[in-house]
Amino acid sequence: MFDRSRLALVALAALLALAAAACSSSGADGIATSGTVPEAPASFPVTITDSSGVDVVIDAMPRRIISISPASTEILFAIGAGDQVIAVDEFSDHPPEAPTTDLSGFEPNVEAIATFEPDLVIMSFDPGDVVSALTALDIPAMQHFSANTLDDTYAQMEQLGIVTGHRDEAAALEVQMRADLDDLAAATTDLDPAPTYYHELDDTLFSATSATFIGSVYSMAGLVNIADEADVDGFGFPQLSVEYILEQDPDFIFLADTKCCGQDASTVAARPGWDELTAVREGRVIELDDDIASRWGPRIVEFFATITDAITPAEVN
Protein backbone atom coordinates (compact mmCIF):
# COMPACT_ATOMS: atom_id res chain seq x y z
CA MET A 1 0.00 0.00 0.00
CA PHE A 2 3.03 2.24 -0.22
CA ASP A 3 3.44 2.85 -3.92
CA ARG A 4 1.79 6.29 -3.73
CA SER A 5 2.85 9.46 -1.98
CA ARG A 6 3.92 8.81 1.58
CA LEU A 7 2.38 12.07 2.66
CA ALA A 8 -0.96 10.94 1.27
CA LEU A 9 -0.59 7.69 3.19
CA VAL A 10 0.13 9.49 6.44
CA ALA A 11 -2.85 11.79 5.93
CA LEU A 12 -5.07 8.78 5.20
CA ALA A 13 -3.81 6.97 8.27
CA ALA A 14 -4.61 10.00 10.38
CA LEU A 15 -8.08 10.23 8.85
CA LEU A 16 -8.77 6.60 9.66
CA ALA A 17 -7.42 7.02 13.17
CA LEU A 18 -9.67 10.02 13.78
CA ALA A 19 -12.67 8.19 12.35
CA ALA A 20 -11.94 5.20 14.54
CA ALA A 21 -11.58 7.40 17.60
CA ALA A 22 -14.98 8.93 16.87
CA CYS A 23 -16.55 5.49 17.13
CA SER A 24 -14.37 4.09 19.89
CA SER A 25 -16.43 4.99 22.93
CA SER A 26 -19.22 2.58 23.63
CA GLY A 27 -22.56 4.30 24.04
CA ALA A 28 -26.09 3.13 24.54
CA ASP A 29 -25.91 1.24 21.27
CA GLY A 30 -22.66 -0.50 22.24
CA ILE A 31 -20.72 0.55 19.16
CA ALA A 32 -16.97 0.03 19.53
CA THR A 33 -13.96 1.03 17.42
CA SER A 34 -14.12 -2.03 15.20
CA GLY A 35 -17.81 -2.71 15.56
CA THR A 36 -19.62 -5.12 17.82
CA VAL A 37 -19.51 -8.87 17.48
CA PRO A 38 -22.88 -10.62 17.93
CA GLU A 39 -23.40 -14.12 19.26
CA ALA A 40 -22.70 -16.89 16.79
CA PRO A 41 -25.73 -17.15 14.49
CA ALA A 42 -27.29 -20.50 13.69
CA SER A 43 -27.53 -19.44 10.07
CA PHE A 44 -27.81 -16.46 7.83
CA PRO A 45 -29.01 -13.73 7.73
CA VAL A 46 -26.59 -12.05 10.14
CA THR A 47 -26.29 -8.45 11.24
CA ILE A 48 -23.05 -6.81 12.36
CA THR A 49 -22.27 -3.24 13.41
CA ASP A 50 -19.25 -2.05 11.47
CA SER A 51 -16.61 0.52 12.42
CA SER A 52 -18.78 3.41 11.27
CA GLY A 53 -21.58 2.33 13.61
CA VAL A 54 -23.84 1.14 10.81
CA ASP A 55 -25.75 -2.14 11.03
CA VAL A 56 -24.94 -4.25 7.99
CA VAL A 57 -27.28 -7.12 7.13
CA ILE A 58 -25.90 -10.12 5.24
CA ASP A 59 -28.82 -12.22 3.98
CA ALA A 60 -26.83 -15.25 2.83
CA MET A 61 -23.26 -16.51 2.91
CA PRO A 62 -21.43 -14.25 0.43
CA ARG A 63 -19.83 -15.96 -2.55
CA ARG A 64 -18.55 -12.88 -4.38
CA ILE A 65 -16.61 -10.69 -1.96
CA ILE A 66 -14.64 -7.59 -2.90
CA SER A 67 -12.07 -6.26 -0.45
CA ILE A 68 -10.94 -2.64 -0.72
CA SER A 69 -8.57 -3.02 2.22
CA PRO A 70 -5.21 -4.82 2.23
CA ALA A 71 -5.57 -5.74 5.90
CA SER A 72 -9.05 -7.18 5.38
CA THR A 73 -7.82 -9.09 2.34
CA GLU A 74 -5.12 -10.75 4.42
CA ILE A 75 -7.60 -11.62 7.15
CA LEU A 76 -10.12 -13.09 4.69
CA PHE A 77 -7.54 -15.45 3.24
CA ALA A 78 -6.15 -16.33 6.66
CA ILE A 79 -9.59 -17.44 7.93
CA GLY A 80 -10.28 -19.60 4.89
CA ALA A 81 -12.58 -17.25 2.99
CA GLY A 82 -10.17 -16.70 0.10
CA ASP A 83 -12.23 -18.77 -2.32
CA GLN A 84 -15.12 -16.34 -1.80
CA VAL A 85 -13.01 -13.30 -2.73
CA ILE A 86 -13.39 -12.38 -6.41
CA ALA A 87 -11.51 -9.05 -6.49
CA VAL A 88 -9.32 -6.88 -4.26
CA ASP A 89 -7.92 -3.37 -4.55
CA GLU A 90 -4.65 -2.40 -6.19
CA PHE A 91 -2.70 -2.47 -2.90
CA SER A 92 -3.90 -5.90 -1.71
CA ASP A 93 -0.77 -7.76 -2.77
CA HIS A 94 -0.79 -10.45 -0.09
CA PRO A 95 -1.27 -13.37 -0.17
CA PRO A 96 0.03 -13.91 -3.72
CA GLU A 97 -3.18 -15.65 -4.76
CA ALA A 98 -5.31 -12.63 -3.91
CA PRO A 99 -7.13 -11.49 -7.09
CA THR A 100 -5.55 -8.03 -7.28
CA THR A 101 -7.23 -5.61 -9.68
CA ASP A 102 -6.96 -1.92 -10.52
CA LEU A 103 -9.78 -1.07 -8.11
CA SER A 104 -8.63 2.04 -6.28
CA GLY A 105 -7.94 1.83 -2.57
CA PHE A 106 -7.84 5.61 -2.19
CA GLU A 107 -10.83 6.54 -4.33
CA PRO A 108 -13.18 3.53 -4.55
CA ASN A 109 -15.39 3.73 -7.62
CA VAL A 110 -18.95 2.45 -7.31
CA GLU A 111 -19.38 1.64 -10.99
CA ALA A 112 -16.11 -0.28 -11.13
CA ILE A 113 -17.01 -2.24 -8.02
CA ALA A 114 -20.53 -3.03 -9.24
CA THR A 115 -19.13 -4.47 -12.48
CA PHE A 116 -17.93 -7.49 -10.51
CA GLU A 117 -21.47 -8.14 -9.20
CA PRO A 118 -20.35 -8.63 -5.59
CA ASP A 119 -22.59 -9.75 -2.77
CA LEU A 120 -20.37 -8.13 -0.12
CA VAL A 121 -17.86 -5.25 -0.22
CA ILE A 122 -15.40 -4.59 2.60
CA MET A 123 -13.72 -1.19 2.83
CA SER A 124 -11.24 0.45 5.21
CA PHE A 125 -12.95 3.82 4.83
CA ASP A 126 -15.55 5.64 2.73
CA PRO A 127 -14.16 8.78 1.07
CA GLY A 128 -17.60 9.97 0.06
CA ASP A 129 -20.90 8.22 -0.46
CA VAL A 130 -19.63 4.88 -1.75
CA VAL A 131 -21.37 2.82 0.92
CA SER A 132 -24.72 4.51 0.39
CA ALA A 133 -24.40 4.13 -3.38
CA LEU A 134 -23.62 0.43 -3.04
CA THR A 135 -26.52 0.01 -0.62
CA ALA A 136 -28.82 1.61 -3.18
CA LEU A 137 -27.69 -1.12 -5.57
CA ASP A 138 -28.55 -3.78 -2.95
CA ILE A 139 -24.85 -4.54 -2.43
CA PRO A 140 -24.00 -4.88 1.28
CA ALA A 141 -20.91 -2.85 2.23
CA MET A 142 -19.14 -2.77 5.56
CA GLN A 143 -16.27 -0.60 6.81
CA HIS A 144 -13.38 -1.73 8.97
CA PHE A 145 -11.36 1.29 10.00
CA SER A 146 -7.65 1.13 10.75
CA ALA A 147 -7.15 -0.72 14.02
CA ASN A 148 -5.93 1.21 17.05
CA THR A 149 -5.20 -1.87 19.16
CA LEU A 150 -4.77 -5.60 18.82
CA ASP A 151 -8.26 -6.04 20.25
CA ASP A 152 -9.55 -4.06 17.27
CA THR A 153 -7.83 -6.52 14.96
CA TYR A 154 -9.32 -9.49 16.76
CA ALA A 155 -12.79 -7.92 16.64
CA GLN A 156 -12.49 -7.37 12.89
CA MET A 157 -11.34 -10.97 12.42
CA GLU A 158 -14.36 -12.19 14.36
CA GLN A 159 -16.73 -10.05 12.31
CA LEU A 160 -15.25 -11.23 9.02
CA GLY A 161 -15.56 -14.80 10.27
CA ILE A 162 -19.23 -14.23 11.00
CA VAL A 163 -20.17 -12.58 7.71
CA THR A 164 -18.27 -15.11 5.59
CA GLY A 165 -19.36 -18.25 7.43
CA HIS A 166 -15.87 -18.88 8.87
CA ARG A 167 -16.33 -17.97 12.51
CA ASP A 168 -14.56 -21.09 13.83
CA GLU A 169 -11.53 -20.45 11.62
CA ALA A 170 -11.40 -16.82 12.73
CA ALA A 171 -11.54 -17.87 16.37
CA ALA A 172 -8.75 -20.39 15.83
CA LEU A 173 -6.60 -17.76 14.13
CA GLU A 174 -7.10 -15.39 17.06
CA VAL A 175 -6.06 -18.07 19.54
CA GLN A 176 -2.94 -18.85 17.52
CA MET A 177 -1.99 -15.20 17.13
CA ARG A 178 -2.41 -14.52 20.84
CA ALA A 179 -0.25 -17.53 21.69
CA ASP A 180 2.46 -16.57 19.20
CA LEU A 181 2.58 -12.99 20.42
CA ASP A 182 2.71 -14.11 24.05
CA ASP A 183 5.58 -16.47 23.28
CA LEU A 184 7.51 -13.75 21.49
CA ALA A 185 6.94 -11.26 24.29
CA ALA A 186 8.06 -13.79 26.90
CA ALA A 187 11.30 -14.38 25.01
CA THR A 188 12.17 -10.69 25.00
CA THR A 189 14.98 -9.76 27.33
CA ASP A 190 13.95 -7.22 29.98
CA LEU A 191 16.15 -4.16 29.60
CA ASP A 192 16.44 -1.42 32.21
CA PRO A 193 16.13 1.35 31.29
CA ALA A 194 13.80 0.56 28.40
CA PRO A 195 15.44 1.15 24.99
CA THR A 196 14.22 4.02 22.85
CA TYR A 197 13.34 3.74 19.18
CA TYR A 198 12.45 5.73 16.09
CA HIS A 199 10.02 4.23 13.56
CA GLU A 200 10.41 5.81 10.12
CA LEU A 201 7.40 5.86 7.83
CA ASP A 202 9.15 7.64 4.99
CA ASP A 203 12.33 9.51 4.15
CA THR A 204 10.75 12.85 5.05
CA LEU A 205 10.87 11.63 8.67
CA PHE A 206 7.20 11.01 9.37
CA SER A 207 6.81 8.63 12.29
CA ALA A 208 4.07 6.95 14.36
CA THR A 209 3.46 7.45 18.07
CA SER A 210 2.54 4.94 20.74
CA ALA A 211 -1.09 6.01 20.31
CA THR A 212 -1.21 4.36 16.88
CA PHE A 213 -1.57 0.70 16.07
CA ILE A 214 2.05 0.59 14.87
CA GLY A 215 3.27 2.12 18.12
CA SER A 216 1.18 -0.25 20.22
CA VAL A 217 3.10 -3.20 18.79
CA TYR A 218 6.41 -1.69 19.89
CA SER A 219 4.93 -1.03 23.33
CA MET A 220 4.33 -4.77 23.69
CA ALA A 221 8.10 -5.19 23.47
CA GLY A 222 8.68 -2.56 26.15
CA LEU A 223 10.27 0.03 23.87
CA VAL A 224 9.98 3.80 24.34
CA ASN A 225 8.92 5.85 21.32
CA ILE A 226 10.84 9.10 20.72
CA ALA A 227 7.98 10.40 18.54
CA ASP A 228 5.56 10.63 21.47
CA GLU A 229 6.90 13.88 22.90
CA ALA A 230 7.04 15.46 19.44
CA ASP A 231 3.36 14.86 18.72
CA VAL A 232 2.11 18.09 20.29
CA ASP A 233 -1.11 18.09 18.23
CA GLY A 234 -2.02 14.49 18.98
CA PHE A 235 -1.90 13.71 15.26
CA GLY A 236 -0.43 10.27 15.81
CA PHE A 237 1.87 10.62 12.82
CA PRO A 238 4.22 13.57 13.48
CA GLN A 239 6.93 14.66 11.11
CA LEU A 240 10.14 14.79 13.10
CA SER A 241 13.10 17.05 12.42
CA VAL A 242 16.65 15.86 11.89
CA GLU A 243 17.72 17.92 14.87
CA TYR A 244 15.12 16.27 17.11
CA ILE A 245 16.14 12.74 16.11
CA LEU A 246 19.82 13.50 16.60
CA GLU A 247 19.10 15.00 20.00
CA GLN A 248 16.98 12.01 21.08
CA ASP A 249 19.66 9.58 19.85
CA PRO A 250 17.41 6.48 19.76
CA ASP A 251 18.79 3.07 20.67
CA PHE A 252 17.01 1.52 17.67
CA ILE A 253 15.86 2.77 14.27
CA PHE A 254 13.17 0.78 12.47
CA LEU A 255 12.77 1.55 8.77
CA ALA A 256 9.29 1.06 7.30
CA ASP A 257 10.31 2.80 4.08
CA THR A 258 12.52 0.18 2.50
CA LYS A 259 10.10 -0.43 -0.38
CA CYS A 260 8.60 2.98 -0.93
CA CYS A 261 11.74 5.05 -0.53
CA GLY A 262 14.67 2.66 -0.91
CA GLN A 263 15.94 3.22 2.62
CA ASP A 264 18.27 0.83 4.42
CA ALA A 265 21.01 0.88 7.03
CA SER A 266 23.54 2.27 4.57
CA THR A 267 21.37 5.16 3.37
CA VAL A 268 20.60 6.09 6.97
CA ALA A 269 24.28 6.05 7.91
CA ALA A 270 25.00 8.32 4.93
CA ARG A 271 22.65 11.06 6.14
CA PRO A 272 24.55 14.07 7.52
CA GLY A 273 25.19 13.56 11.21
CA TRP A 274 23.35 10.26 11.46
CA ASP A 275 26.55 8.21 11.60
CA GLU A 276 26.94 9.50 15.17
CA LEU A 277 23.61 8.05 16.32
CA THR A 278 23.83 5.15 18.75
CA ALA A 279 21.52 3.00 16.61
CA VAL A 280 23.79 3.47 13.60
CA ARG A 281 27.07 3.00 15.43
CA GLU A 282 25.82 -0.12 17.22
CA GLY A 283 24.26 -1.69 14.12
CA ARG A 284 20.70 -1.33 15.37
CA VAL A 285 19.06 -0.01 12.20
CA ILE A 286 16.36 -2.56 11.43
CA GLU A 287 14.97 -2.84 7.89
CA LEU A 288 11.25 -3.71 7.86
CA ASP A 289 8.83 -4.78 5.17
CA ASP A 290 6.72 -1.64 4.64
CA ASP A 291 3.49 -3.57 4.18
CA ILE A 292 3.88 -5.96 7.11
CA ALA A 293 4.71 -3.03 9.40
CA SER A 294 1.57 -1.10 8.46
CA ARG A 295 -1.24 -3.65 8.16
CA TRP A 296 -3.27 -4.79 11.13
CA GLY A 297 -3.91 -8.31 9.87
CA PRO A 298 -2.41 -11.73 10.70
CA ARG A 299 1.13 -10.69 9.81
CA ILE A 300 1.30 -8.62 13.00
CA VAL A 301 3.07 -11.68 14.38
CA GLU A 302 5.81 -11.33 11.77
CA PHE A 303 6.17 -7.63 12.55
CA PHE A 304 6.46 -8.31 16.28
CA ALA A 305 8.94 -11.14 15.67
CA THR A 306 11.20 -8.76 13.75
CA ILE A 307 11.11 -6.32 16.66
CA THR A 308 11.77 -8.94 19.34
CA ASP A 309 14.52 -10.58 17.30
CA ALA A 310 16.22 -7.20 17.06
CA ILE A 311 16.08 -6.32 20.73
CA THR A 312 16.51 -9.72 22.40
CA PRO A 313 20.27 -10.01 21.87
CA ALA A 314 20.89 -6.29 22.37
CA GLU A 315 22.78 -4.93 25.34
CA VAL A 316 21.64 -1.36 25.74
CA ASN A 317 23.22 0.86 28.37
Q: What is the rounded CA–CA span in Å between residue 228 and residue 280?
A: 21
Q: What is the rounded CA–CA span in Å between residue 132 and residue 129?
A: 5
pLDDT digits (tens, 9 = 90+) for 60-103: 999 999 999 999 999 999 999 999 999 999 999 999 999 999 99
18, pLDDT greater than 90: no
CA–CA distances in Å: residue 146 to residues 171, 209, 212, 256: 20, 15, 9, 17
Q: What is the rounded CA–CA span in Å between residue 30 and residue 187?
A: 37
Per-residue confidence (pLDDT) for residue 315, from 0 to 100: 65
pLDDT digits (tens, 9 = 90+) for 25-52: 333 222 233 444 445 455 899 999 999 9
Q: For residue 89, how far is the Cα from the chain centroid?
A: 16
Q: Report the percentage of the chain scoring pLDDT > 70.
A: 85
pLDDT band at 16 (very low <50, low <70, confident <90, very high): very low
Mean pLDDT, the chain, integer:
88
Domains and CATH numbers, the chain: 6-166 (3.40.50.1980), 189-311 (3.40.50.1980)
Q: What is the rounded CA–CA span in Å between residue 176 and residue 172?
A: 6
Q: Is 58 exposed, middle or buried (0-12, 13-18, 19+ CB in 10 A)?
A: buried
pLDDT band at 7 (very low <50, low <70, confident <90, very high): very low
Report the predicted TM-score, pTM, of the whole model to 2 decimal places: 0.86
Helices and strands in the chain: count of H runs, count of E runs: 11, 10
The three-state secondary structure class of 66 is strand
122, pLDDT greater than 50: yes
Q: What is the residue type of 270?
A: A
